[in-house]
Amino acid sequence: MTVHSGAPEFSIITAASGLRAGAVSVPDLVEQSLAQADAIADLAAFTEIYADHAKALAHAHQALIANGCDLGPLHGIPVAVKANVAVAGKRMTAGSKLLADRIADTDADATQALKRQGAIIIGATNMHEFAWGGTTANPHFGQCRNPWDRNRIPAGSSGGSGAAVAARAVFAALGTDTGGSIRLPASMNGLTGLRPGVGRLSTGGIFPLAWSMDTVGPIAPSAADCAIVHAALCGESVPAGFAAAGRPASLSGKRIAVPTPYAFAALQTDVETTFRDALRQFEALGAVVDPVSLADLDIAVDAQVIVDAAEPSAIHADWVRTRPEDYGDDVRILLEAGLAFTAEEYIQAQRYRTLLRRQFERIFIDHDLVLTPTLPFTAPLIGQATVMLGGREESTLTGNMRFTCLASLAALPAASFPIGFDTAGLPVGGQLIGPHDSEMAILAVVHAFQGASDHHLRRPSAGQSLTSATTG
């Protein structure tokens, strides 16, 4: 595996600066983006490429910039959206055969927000069918592969968004996150991914998975990039602290809680080592890191599974009964299983969510954020259903949810960001969870961490495009 480091930073800020200085044009950026998307076709990161449309838009946006019309930090920047996010006039398949011929009449609200800032959407990214799964093993559009090791998964369900950004085909991509589907691909692909809190952004025009936990947000190389995209989605300005990518900053006064022993239990050795190193880095930046106790975390994944199965099964009930053969086997089985949960089980899971949310509220009285690993393991091999953790075999599906379910169940914002690499050179992610409406505060802490580390600057051998266009 070849890992590139020390290269010019690949970022929206750097590309935008080059555009405004005239060092690069929007058509240049789009052509390079499309060329890289073609070069990584074997990753199956995209379900569709909007090449002709993107090229036409590039010339139109270049004319706007040349005439002094600046739509914002994303103006002229190539991005992508997950295949369950509607783009007007384009197919919106949600990674399924059932929606293979559906053409979106209008943009999703998130798509429209990107367009208002002049972002150029070059295509739709591959995903686990209907977002119900964590591998992006899609029987209809192909197995998406991890650019750090093509024999491994990029996680899911937004795996195509993660792979496309990690391979530097786009500067950012939208994903959706219900149980962890932004944070998991961010972790396994060495990226930063933001799950906004439930209700923070409109999910209008996005095919739902579990409506009480669904969110939409960015996957990008850095916290600064995520902040730019999140601000665009919110219709807000980017806070000044993100203006200079990678600027070191103190975290003095910040109090970070670590659920103990939960955050350290049954981790792969390299993940535990890297996570403990990250704790020391936060302390070196001035943060106070405290162990805290959260009750009944041993049933958190069970509660997540119930809600994350029952709600999708309610949405799909008619199709599961009338067109079961049109689903991939894994998703069909999960949807059929979800129909078997009782009202009592669903209500008890929702009661647990209330309990967990109240515990977080108490922690946030004295602490700013909660820190855990994003995953207990690095990217598994394609087809690998279990992994050895703590001396016993654990399902990769439930392992995926162990830490990400906490923010999902509590409906809170959270971000995954690179904290290092295992001995095989695979990325390891850390997760920060914050109180409601703390998305930018979370990203500011990640930004400070990234100002003092270079994990987010490393890229896989597949990610070699667009570099010249960002250097100015």
Mean pLDDT value of segment 22-42: 97
Per-residue pLDDT, 247: 61
Q: Is the dihedral of CA 163, 166, 167, 170 positive or negative?
A: positive
Which of 11, 33, 82, 408 is the catalytic position? 82
Per-residue pLDDT, 463: 66
Cα atoms in the 13 Å half-sphere on the side-chain side of 432: 31
Three-state DSSP class for 259? Answer: strand
Active site residue 82: yes
Tally Cβ neighbours within 10 Å of residue 237.
10
Residue 427 has pLDDT above 50, yes or no: yes
Which of 11, 161, 181, 408 is the catalytic position? 181
Tally Cβ neighbours within 10 Å of residue 357.
14
Contact 193, 185 (CB under 8 A): yes
Mean pLDDT value of segment 405-423: 98
Measured CA to CA, the distance from residue 94 to residue 357 in angstroms comes to: 30
Contact 352, 303 (CB under 8 A): yes
Reported as a single tens digit per residue, the pLDDT across 217-242 is 999 999 999 999 999 999 999 998 89
Active site residue 254: no
Active site residue 157: yes
Q: Which 8-state DSSP code applies to residue 61?
A: H
Three-state DSSP class for 455? Answer: helix
Reported as a single tens digit per residue, the pLDDT across 38-58 is 999 999 999 999 999 999 999
Please state whether 399 falls in left (phi above 0), alpha (psi between -120 and 50) or beta. Answer: alpha
Measured CA to CA, the distance from residue 265 to residue 273 in angstroms comes to: 12
If pLDDT is split at 50, 70 and 90, which confidence band does 471 have?
Answer: very low
Residue 201 has pLDDT above 50, yes or no: yes
Reported as a single tens digit per residue, the pLDDT across 364-392 is 999 999 999 999 999 999 999 999 998 89
Per-residue pLDDT, 9: 75
Which of 11, 25, 33, 157 is the catalytic position? 157
Q: Judge residue 295's burial from the number of C-beta atoms within 10 Å of its C-beta, 0-12 exposed, 13-18 middle, 19 or more buried.
A: exposed
Mean pLDDT value of segment 396-405: 96
Measured CA to CA, the distance from residue 93 to residue 358 in angstroms comes to: 37
Look at 249 and 442; give whichever has higher pLDDT.
Answer: 442
Domains and CATH numbers, the chain: 12-301+339-457 (3.90.1300.10)
Crossing angle for the helix pair 269-284 and 439-451, nearest 10 degrees? Answer: 90
Three-state DSSP class for 225? Answer: helix
